[in-house]
Amino acid sequence: MKKPTLLGILVCLVSSLGVSQTAVFPERLASGWAKEGRPSEFQGGNLFNYIDGGAEIFLEFGFDRLLVQDYKKGNSEIVLELFEMESPESALGIYLMKCGTETPVEGVPARNSGDKTQFTIVKGPAFIHINNLDAGASLLPAMVELARSVLDTIPQGRPVKLLEGLPSESRITGSERLIRGPYALQSIFTLGEGDILGLEGKIFALAADYRDQEGEPSARILAGYPDEARAAAVFQNLVTRLDPYLKIIEKRDRKFIFTDFRGRIGTVERNGARLEIRLNLAVRPSVSPL
Amino acid sequence: MRRRSRFSPDLPGRLDRRDFLKIGGATGLGLWLGNRSLSALAQQPSAPPPRPKTNIEDALRVPRTKYSLPGFFPGRVVEVQDAAAVQDDKPVSRVVYRMVEKGLGGLTKKSGKDSCGLFFSRDDVVGIKVNPVGPGTISTHLDVVDALIDWLVAGGLIRKNIIIWDRFDFMLRDAGFTPERYPGVGIEGLQTMDEAAAMGKTQDNSHWLKPDGTHVSVGNFDLEAYYWADVEAPKDNAYLNQHVFNGKNSYFGSLLTKRLTKIINVPVFKNTGNGISMATKNLGYGAVCNTNRLHAPLFFDVNTEVMAFPAIRDKLVLNVTDALRGQYDGGPEYEAKFAYWLNTLYFATDPFALDMVCHQAIVAKRKAMGVKVNEHPKFTEYLRYAERLGLGVVAPDKLQHIRA
């Protein structure tokens, strides 16, 4: 299997594209829908004033600004939410958390998942929700029209290549995730409290599910750090602060094996400046060489 | 106007809100992908902070009554499913009525008036706690409430002694719980909140803030009955607008402590992260104010501890989880694409048993839909905590999950 050059992929520069400087909300759609009032705007931590309780994951991935614009036609209403994330990586990270099993909507010119009730879209550093508050199928064409109109004004930006760091062999399509802190990690597994992986809101770790030879699914998390010392410190942090429901059953300098609360096996291994964590293994891996 | 409500007591803020408000100015350009929003998070120690103290002992000292949780049927949960309950994305009232009758019969082994008489007397003042958070989709269905009201009235209760309530008045309106729809029945929110101010659409706070700096809804809460937790609350207006108080006390609504004699809890069926926001969260975060500060340090334990106080423990006699429609992912936010029709109602006197059954049901659904599921025991630990406090029965060998 080809070794991913993880750190090389993880380490990249942010280009703040300023989505809203180019994104334009149409005043009126050809189908007769029109803006209802001015957009509401929420910046940084003020996101709590819009999604009190749901803001943390956006902030963890890197959130700049949210614009919320209502559109009305008669008594029907569509709400457009444009989240300006710090980078295309940030936007992809939140998209992968929110998209569910992807069901692309025909006619939406960007990566998306949705149905008659809600579109979830990512393009460049923009993460977009289009919500149908009436939930009826009749608004679907207007939702597509609105999506196309807004997306046309958002530049695609540079491609995100982070996920190329995940080995492709036996990977379960659609299971890929980005992790930038405890909230994203918790959706997958509980290794411990707080920022147990030491990502510090700066490093994107990668995660995906894989099938073993018997077809059993397991999960893999890859995290690249700026140097070996940092990776070693995180490894030690995992050893000392591992979740109490996880029991270390074997430990060497750079690797340990644990059982989880269901008796499944997990491993943590440091290789240079990167950590590889395997979870939900049905069979204990060979112990030699640890 | 039906809205996608973003303001709800059952939306968890798992990190301290203030931490995220301390936004640094560094752009983080360089080797790592910087995140100026996360500067506070980066400074968090890896070791978890100690659990804050609460006044749970005060609650446990109050003698129990015959109605105290887990009620007449500890550990018993009745599930009623009917494929005909929904047609064209709308509940069918007559089928819902039949399901309610079947569920109550399955729970109590009594029918009609007799089952009502088991829980209520004619002079009871009954509060029906709904969850109106996602009008039109994930919200307690009016049809379910209709059926329960008719059951109460048939059992001899007076309409004016029935009060549909939630924490927020505007959410009740948005979800269709209006005096016009329910003539003769009370409709009450424990508090108001100025959505325009909360959304930043106006700087005019006069609709919710009195000249003396207190919230206009302060009088709706009982200053003698509170859940105390050694956790500070944010002191900004946005928090006060939504939470009425910002000290270390979360006061119970006076409606619960002084007027209601019995409570029926009618939550919805939805997830919140890896856990659920159903029966116990509907009351744990819906019966008291000043709750957002509690999410990070105590989260689900609040469900258990708030419900240990007499205002709920001794008055909550019936829970009906409205799972006609559910949301299996994306919660606590309302995410319509994860909503689905289950055509199911669950019945229990024991809300902790009920939540354990529903937790397992939603985990199964999440797995079936390919959602990543973290099944760590900490997401149900609050239910076992309730069992240790004598409030519920959740041990697998004692749970009775009956499909009626």
> Mean pLDDT throughout B326-337?
86
The 10 Å Cβ neighbour count of residue B237 is 18
> Mean pLDDT throughout A207-218?
93
Contact of A41 with chain B, judged by CB distance below 8 Å, is answered with yes
> Contact, B73 vs B108, CB < 8 A?
yes
Residues of chain A with C-beta less than 8 angstroms from the C-beta of B370: 100-101, 174
Q: Do B20 and A45 lie within an 8 Å CB cutoff?
A: yes
> Mean pLDDT throughout A141-159?
93
> Mean pLDDT throughout B365-381?
94
Q: How many CA atoms lie within 13 A of A243 on its CB side?
A: 20
Amino acid code (one letter) for A233: A
Give how far A75 is from chain B: nearest CA, Å: 8
A165 CB-near residues (< 8 Å, 6+ apart): A4, A5, A6, A9, A10, A206, A222, A224
The pair of three-digit structure tokens given for residue B99, joined into one six-digit string: 């399901």
At residue A213 the predicted structure's pLDDT band, cuts being 50, 70 and 90, is confident
Residues of chain B with C-beta less than 8 angstroms from the C-beta of A40: 199-201
Q: Do A194 and B44 lie within an 8 Å CB cutoff?
A: yes
Residues of chain A with C-beta less than 8 angstroms from the C-beta of B32: 11, 200, 202-203, 226
Question: Between residues 77 and 116 of chain A, which touch chain B (CB distance below 8 Å)?
Answer: 77, 79, 86-87, 89-90, 98, 100-101, 113-115
> Mean pLDDT throughout B54-59?
98
Scanning the structure block, which residue is given the tokens 């309780």? A53
Which pLDDT value is given to residue A25?
92
Give how far B252 is from chain A: nearest CA, Å: 21
Range from A17-26, A107-116, A165-174, A213-222 carrying the lowest mean pLDDT: A17-26
> Contact, B63 vs B307, CB < 8 A?
no
> Mean pLDDT throughout B286-309?
95
Q: Do B38 and A86 lie within an 8 Å CB cutoff?
A: no
Residues of chain B with C-beta less than 8 angstroms from the C-beta of A193: 46-48
pLDDT digits (tens, 9 = 90+) for A242-262: 999 999 999 999 999 999 999
Cis? peptide before B332, omega within 30° of 0: yes
In whole angstroms, give the CA distance from residue A112 to residue A123. Answer: 9
> Contact, B291 vs B302, CB < 8 A?
yes
Range from A9-13, A177-181, A286-290, B80-84 carrying the lowest mean pLDDT: A9-13
Of chain B, the percentage scoring pLDDT greater than 70 comes to 88
Q: Do B38 and A79 lie within an 8 Å CB cutoff?
A: no
Tell me which DSSP letter residue A163 carries.
G
Tell me the whole-structure pTM to 2 decimals.
0.88
The pair of three-digit structure tokens given for residue A157, joined into one six-digit string: 């930006």
> Contact, B229 vs B248, CB < 8 A?
yes
Contact of B33 with chain A, judged by CB distance below 8 Å, is answered with yes
B382 CB-near residues (< 8 Å, 6+ apart): B280, B299, B300, B301, B303, B304
Which pLDDT value is given to residue A55?
85
> Nearest CB to B20: which of A48, A54, A101?
A48
Examine the pLDDT at B9 and tell me if it is beyond 60.
Answer: no
In whole angstroms, give the CA distance from residue B376 to residue B256. Answer: 34
Which pLDDT value is given to residue B47?
58
| Exposed e or buried b per residue across B333-349, where buried means at least 16 C-beta atoms within 10 angstroms of its C-beta | bbbbbbbeebbbbbbbb
Question: Between residues 255 and 294 of chain B, which touch chain A (CB distance below 8 Å)?
Answer: 273-274, 292
Q: Do B337 and A114 lie within an 8 Å CB cutoff?
A: yes
Examine the pLDDT at B46 and tell me if it is beyond 90.
Answer: no
Question: Between residues 130 and 149 of chain A, which touch chain B (CB distance below 8 Å)?
Answer: 131-136
pLDDT digits (tens, 9 = 90+) for B239-257: 999 999 999 999 999 999 9
Contact of A190 with chain B, judged by CB distance below 8 Å, is answered with yes
Contact of A2 with chain B, judged by CB distance below 8 Å, is answered with no
At residue A53 the predicted structure's pLDDT band, cuts being 50, 70 and 90, is low
> Mean pLDDT throughout A169-174?
95
Can you tell me the ipTM of this complex? 0.84
Give how far A144 is from chain B: nearest CA, Å: 15
